[in-house]
Structure 1
Amino acid sequence: MCGIFFQLTLSAAQFEKDKRIYEFLKRRGPNSSRELSFPAVDLSYHCSFSAHVLHMRGLLTLQPFQDDAGNVLMWNGEVFGGISVMPEENDTTVICQKLSSCKNSLEVLALLSAIQGPWAFVFYQKAEDYLWFGRDLFGRRSLLWKYDAEISVFTLTSVAAGISALGQSDWKEVPAVGVFKVDVKAAAQSGSVSFELFPWARNVINPSLSEMMVNSVPSGCNFEINRAGLSITSPVCPLNMSIPEKKVEVNPSSQVSGGNLEEFLISKEKTEVVNRLIGVLSEAVRRRVHSLPFVAKDNLPLSSGQASIAILFSGGIDSMILAVLADKHVPVHQPIDLLNVAFKLKEPKKQPEKKLKKQRNKSNNSETVQVSSLSSSPFDVPDRITGKAGLKELQDLNPERQWNFVEINITREELQQMRQERICHLVHPLDTVLDDSIGCAVWFAARGKGVITEEEEQKPFTSSAKVILTGIGADEQLAGYSRHRVRFSMSGHEGLIQELAMELARISSRNLGRDDRVIGDHGKEARFPYLDEEVVNYLNSLPVWEKADLSLPRGVGEKLLLRLSAKQLGLGQSAVLPKRAMQFGSRIAKMEDGHEKASDKCTRLLYD
C-alpha cells in the first residue's frame, strides 16, 4: 500500500504544496518516500509524482516506479489473484512491466480487469503522453481529484486536507466507475483537462452513469465516455435476480432461533452451499494473511509475541468468522490482535437494588443487558461485552493461540482532539454525521493503542500488525441492515434484490475510500475478505433466499447463510447476535447530539 500524489501543471504559475497533505501521505507509507518530476520538451506542461510506500510483499520497491522507457507508475494496491505475482516479487514491478508492454487501450483494460484485489493507480505512458488512473470496481483504495482553474493545475491524491470553518474545498472522490485516460499533450494545447472514461462493463448502459460523472468531475474539467465504446470487464458476475415462485410471509414469531439453527444443516443441499461459502471465504482470508514481511511498520523485526494480523473486532458474526478463518491460516505461534474500541459512557446513576435485580432477571443474554445501568466500567459498551464473549469462544476453539484482545478506550477529550488534528482531514471529502461516527471509531480502532489483560492484570498495549481485516461487505451482500427488512416487508424479494444491488454499487462512495484513508493513516493496510472477487462471485450467483430469510426473526434471518457458516465452524452465541452498527455498539453516537440524523452534514468535521 502507499500514499500517491500527482499534479499536472498546464501553466508556468508557481504554487506552494500543502504540507499537511504530504504529512498524511507519509504516514500512509512510512517505509519509503520519493518524488519525481519532469517538464514537457516544449515546456507546455509539467508532471509531478510523489509516492510513500508501506512495504507489504517482495523486495521494497521505491515509488514512483519509472522504467527504462520513461513510463511512471504509482500503484496503491494488492494483487491477490488474476495475474501471476510470485511471493518474492513486488506487484508494483510486475504491474508496471505489464502496463508498459500494452500496445493499445484494449490491452490496458484487459490487464486491469484481470486483477483480483484492491487498487488505485496513476500511470504515465510516456510514448503517447497519456495519463491513466482509476480505482477498482469496489473502490477499496482511496483516490481524490480536483482542478484549480486559476493556475491550471490538476491533482490526484490518496488523501487531502479537510475544510476549515471559513473555507471551501474542491476535493472529490474519483468515482469507481471505470478507468480514466487523459491526453496530456492535448490538455496542454487546449489549456484544460478532459477525461476519457472506460467504464466497467456493468455501467455501459447505466443511464445514471453520466449523471454520476457530472456530479463527480472536478469543476473546470470535461469528460466523455470513450468513442470506441470500450469498457473494462467486471471481475464479478451479475447479481442473481431470481424471485421465488411462492410468496414468503414475514413471521417474526417463528420458532427458529439460535438454539435450533443447526436444523437447517440437516439438508444436504444447504450444507453444500454453506461449505462452499466457507471455502471461498477461507481462501480470501488466506490470501490476505500470507506472504507478509514479518516486520512492523517501522521496519524493525517483529518479536515472537507480536502480531502481523489484526481484526476490527466487535464479537459479532462478521468479525468472529474472520477470526476463526484467520486462525486456520496464521501460524499458531503468532498472536492475532482483536481490536475492540469503546467510547466512554456517562457515569451511570446508582439505582435501587430491587430495580437492578428486575433488570437482570429480564435479561437473558448480553444483547439485552441495559449497559448504562449494569456496567462495572464506563467503557463496558455493547461491543465490549460481545467482544469479550467472542474472545471466550475463540479461546475455546483454539486455546493454543495467543488472542490479544485490545481494549481501546476513548474519552470525549481525546476524540475531540484527534478529530480536529487528523480525522476530519481523512474523512474529507465525505461530510455526514455517519461519516464522522464511523471514521472516528475506525481510526481509533485501527490505531490499536489500548490495554490487554494478562493474568488478571491490565497492561498497556499497541498492536504491531500492519494488516487489518475488516468485515465490511457482509451486510451489504447478505441483507444485514435493518433497511433490508423494511424493504423486504414492503416490496418482498424483488425489492430486497434491488436494495442489495444498490448496496454494492454504492459501497465505494459510502464506505471504502473513507475507511482506506482512515486506516492507512496509521501506516496499516485495510483488507476486506468479504469483498474478495471470488466471494462476491459466489454470493452473486446464489438466489437471494439462499443468503437471507427475512421472514425469520432478527438475529436469525438476516445473513442466514453466514450464521449457518458460523455454526458449521463451531461458533456458538455469536452466530445469532443481531446486527449492531459500529457507531451504536462502540457508543460513539451517544457522545454527540442525539437529535442528529446520520445523513446530516457534520459541522464537527470542520477544522478551526
Structure 2
Amino acid sequence: MCGILLFNSNVRCQTTAQDVYLEYTEGDDIIKPSGKDAIDKIVPYIVARGPDFSSFRCLKDVNTCWFSSILSLRQPFTKQSIVIDGKFVLQFNGELYNNAIDQNGNDTQYIVQLLSQINVLDKLLSQQQIIDVIRELDGEFAYTISDLVNEVIYFGRDTIGKRSLSYCTDSETHDLYVASITGTTSKDFINCIGGQIYIFDIKERNFINTTCTIRNSPYNVTSMIDEDMKGLITITNELFQQLTNAVSKRITTIHPTHIENSPIAVLFSGGLDCSVIVALICEELMKIPSNSTVVELLNVGFENPRTGLQPAVTPDRKLAVSSAKILKELYPDVDIRLVEVDVPYKEYLKVRPNIIDFMYPKNTEMDLSIAIAFYFASRGHGFITKDDGTRYQYNRKGVVLFSGLGADELYGGYHKFANKTTPELVEELVRQINNIHDRNLNRDDKVIAENGVEVRYPFLDESVLKYSTSLIPINYKINKHILRNVARMKLNLGTIAEEPKRAIQFGSKSAKMTKDGNKNGTDILK
C-alpha cells in the first residue's frame, strides 16, 4: 500500500531537481503558488497511507512534483517515486500477482523492468508500449507514470478499481492534481474510473485518447441458464479452485517477515462472504509447515442512541460470535481471534467529521454509515472475549486486511435481485460489477488506508471476475446459490452457508444513529 500525489503546474518551476526524504514543509516554495494550499492539505493524508517511508521529488523540466508514501509488504524495499533511466517517473500503489514476478520479488521493480525497455524517442510508439505495460499488470493497484521525454502523464486504477485515485484539472490555472486521497479541498476532484487509462499531455494541457482502457470492454454477465443444474458440482469445484488461488496469492505475496510476525486480518461481519474468505485463508495457512500466523477477525458494532442497542448486541456482533465459533472448531490449529470493536456514540461523533473528509467526494448518509464502519473495523481497537466471558483489550496487529467485497455483485446477493427476470438480473449484475469502482471501492480504500493498512479483495481477483461473469449460469446467482454451495460442499461451513445478506451499516448499527432516523441513504450530508 502506498500513497500517491502528483502535481503538474502550468507554470515552469524555478528550482533544481531534488529529493527530500521523510520530510515535507508546509508551503514549501518548491511548489508553485497555485498549488501550495491544495498540496499542503493533501500531503498528511498521503503520509497516513504509507507509514514506512515518504519522499518528495520535484523536476523543473516537466513542471511536476511527486509525493509518495510507502507501506512495505514485499522485499526488496523500494523507495518511491522512482526515476527510470531518466525517461520515466513511476508511482505505484498496490500489489501485483503476475506469474512473471517471483514470489519473493518486488512488483514495483517488475514495472520498472517493463518500462525500461520502452523506446521513448518515438512518441506514438512509446504511448502504445506504455499502455501495453499497464494492460500487462494483474492485481490491485493505482499508478502514475510520467514520460519525461515526451512530457506525457499516465495515471489510473486497475480494471475494477480496487485502489482509490482521484484527479483534478484546475479550470483557472490548468494545473493537474492526481492523488490517492484528497479530503475536502477547494478543488473539484473526480474519482478515476476503474480500468480507464488517463493520458495527459503536459504541453497541450489536455487529455488525449480519452477512451483508452485496460480491458477492451466492460465485464459482461452471461445469460446462460442451466435449468437442470447438471453442471452444479463442476461449477462449484471450479469456483472453489478460483477462490483458493485468489486467496493463496494474496497470502504468499506478503513478505515472510509479515507472515511470521504479524497476523492476517479480515473485515468480519460473520456472514457468508467473509466467512468463506476466512476458511480459505485457514486452508492456505494449514499448508505451511509449523505456521503460527494469527487470523484476526475484525468485527465492529456501534452504540446506537435511536435503537438503544449497545455494540455487544448488534446483529453483526451476534453473528460474528457464532460464526467465529464454527470456524475455530473447523480449524483448531489456526489461532483465530475475534476482535470485538465497540464504538461508543461519543467516539462516533468525534470521528464523524474526519470520515466525511476522508471519503470526499462521496457525500451521502449511506456513504458515511458504510465508511465509518470500515474505518473503525480496520483501525481494530477492540477486545477479545475469553471462554469464561472475561474481556481483555486488543489492538489489531495485522497490516494486510482481507475483504469479502464483490460477492454480492458477482453472485446476486442483494435482496432487490430476488424477483427480477433473467434479463433484468443480467442487466443489474452488469451494472453492479462495472460500477463497483465508484459505488464502493474508492470510498472504502480511502477510509481503510487511513489506518496504515492494505486491504485485499479475493472476490475481485481478475481471474475470479472473468470466470464468475462469463462461465457461471445466471440461475446459479439467485441469492448467491453457487457461493452457498461452495461454503457447504467444499468448506463445511454449516449454518453460515445459509446466512442472509445484511448490509454492514444495518448489521453494525452505524446507520440512522439519532432519533432523526427518517433520513434516506441517498440524502446529502449536512
* Structure (1 or 2) with the larger CA radius of gyration: 1
Q: Does 1:317 align with 2:239?
A: no
- 1: distance between equivalents of 2:448 and 2:256? 20
Contact 2:85 2:116 in 1 (8 A): no
The Cα shift of 1:448 comes to 0.9
Q: How does 1:432-511 map to 2 (within 5 A)?
A: 432-456=364-388, 457-486=390-419, 488=420, 492-511=421-440
- 1: distance between equivalents of 2:280 and 2:80? 33
The Cα shift of 1:348 comes to 7.9
The Cα shift of 1:95 comes to 0.4
Q: Does 1:119 align with 2:168?
A: no
Q: Which residue identity is paired with 1:453? A: T
- 1: distance between equivalents of 2:118 and 2:335? 47
Question: Unmatched 5+ residue regions in structure 1?
Answer: 188-192, 201-231, 247-263, 350-371, 550-557, 604-608
Aligned partner of residue 72 in structure 1, secondary structure:
strand
- 2: distance between equivalents of 1:87 and 1:466? 19
The Cα shift of 1:427 comes to 0.7
Taking a change above 3 Å as real, the CA distance of residues 378 and 92 of structure 1, as seen in their structure-2 partners, is: closer
The Cα shift of 1:302 comes to 6.5
- 2: distance between equivalents of 1:268 and 1:396? 33
- 2: distance between equivalents of 1:597 and 1:348? 17
Aligned to 2:80: 63
- 2: distance between equivalents of 1:302 and 1:175? 37
Contact 1:5 1:158 in 2 (8 A): yes
TM-score (ref. length: structure 1)? 0.77
- 2: distance between equivalents of 1:148 and 1:235? 30
The Cα shift of 1:268 comes to 6.8
Q: Does 1:427 align with 2:386?
A: no
- 1: distance between equivalents of 2:128 and 2:174? 30
Aligned to 1:554: none
Aligned to 1:93: 109
- 2: distance between equivalents of 1:589 and 1:150? 39
The Cα shift of 1:600 comes to 1.4
Q: How does 1:280-295 map to 2 (within 5 A)?
A: 280-294=242-256
Aligned to 1:14: 33
Taking a change above 3 Å as real, the CA distance of residues 38 and 280 of structure 1, as seen in their structure-2 partners, is: same
Contact 1:236 1:536 in 2 (8 A): no
Aligned to 1:74: 91
Q: How does 1:171-570 map to 2 (within 5 A)?
A: 171-187=189-205, 193-200=206-213, 232-234=214-216, 238-242=220-224, 269-294=231-256, 303=261, 306-307=262-263, 309-330=264-285, 331=288, 332-346=291-305, 378-420=311-353, 422-456=354-388, 457-486=390-419, 488=420, 492-549=421-478, 558-568=479-489, 569-570=491-492
The Cα shift of 1:128 comes to 1.6
The Cα shift of 1:291 comes to 2.9
Contact 1:347 1:378 in 2 (8 A): no
Aligned to 2:28: none
- 2: distance between equivalents of 1:472 and 1:21? 27
Taking a change above 3 Å as real, the CA distance of residues 109 and 389 of structure 1, as seen in their structure-2 partners, is: same
- 1: distance between equivalents of 2:427 and 2:477? 14
Q: Which residue identity is paired with 1:571? A: L
Question: Deviations for 1:410-469, whole angstroms, at most 9, x for unmatched residues?
Answer: 01111111122x312211011111110110000000001100123532111111111111
Aligned partner of residue 78 in structure 1, secondary structure:
strand
- 2: distance between equivalents of 1:565 and 1:434? 31
- 1: distance between equivalents of 2:521 and 2:201? 40
CA RMSD of aligned residues (A): 2.2
Q: Which shifted more, 534-543 or 72-81?
A: 534-543
- 2: distance between equivalents of 1:454 and 1:602? 40
- 2: distance between equivalents of 1:325 and 1:525? 19
Taking a change above 3 Å as real, the CA distance of residues 321 and 236 of structure 1, as seen in their structure-2 partners, is: farther
Taking a change above 3 Å as real, the CA distance of residues 178 and 97 of structure 1, as seen in their structure-2 partners, is: same
- 1: distance between equivalents of 2:7 and 2:86? 21
- 2: distance between equivalents of 1:521 and 1:379? 26
2:496 counterpart (574, 584, 598): 574
Contact 2:267 2:298 in 1 (8 A): yes
Aligned partner of residue 231 in structure 2, secondary structure:
helix
Q: Which residue identity is paired with 1:106? A: Q
Identical-residue share of aligned pairs (%): 29
Contact 1:134 1:179 in 2 (8 A): yes
The Cα shift of 1:407 comes to 0.2
2:517 counterpart (581, 594, 602): 594
The Cα shift of 1:399 comes to 1.4
Contact 2:103 2:252 in 1 (8 A): no
Question: Deviations for 1:286-343, whole angstroms, at most 9, x for unmatched residues?
Answer: 11111323556xxxx974xx41x11111110001100000001124421100000000
Aligned partner of residue 134 in structure 1, secondary structure:
strand
Contact 1:452 1:460 in 2 (8 A): yes
The Cα shift of 1:31 comes to 0.7
- 2: distance between equivalents of 1:295 and 1:414? 34
Taking a change above 3 Å as real, the CA distance of residues 378 and 128 of structure 1, as seen in their structure-2 partners, is: closer
Aligned to 1:2: 2
2:49 counterpart (28, 36, 40): 28
Aligned to 1:369: none
The Cα shift of 1:378 comes to 4.8
Q: Which residue identity is paired with 1:86? A: D
Contact 1:236 1:534 in 2 (8 A): no
Aligned partner of residue 149 in structure 1, secondary structure:
coil
Aligned to 2:20: none
- 2: distance between equivalents of 1:278 and 1:295? 28
Contact 1:336 1:404 in 2 (8 A): yes
Question: Unmatched 5+ residue regions in structure 2?
Answer: 13-31, 120-124
- 2: distance between equivalents of 1:511 and 1:407? 24
Aligned partner of residue 153 in structure 2, secondary structure:
strand
- 2: distance between equivalents of 1:39 and 1:55? 29
Aligned partner of residue 186 in structure 1, secondary structure:
coil
Taking a change above 3 Å as real, the CA distance of residues 236 and 153 of structure 1, as seen in their structure-2 partners, is: closer
Aligned to 1:354: none
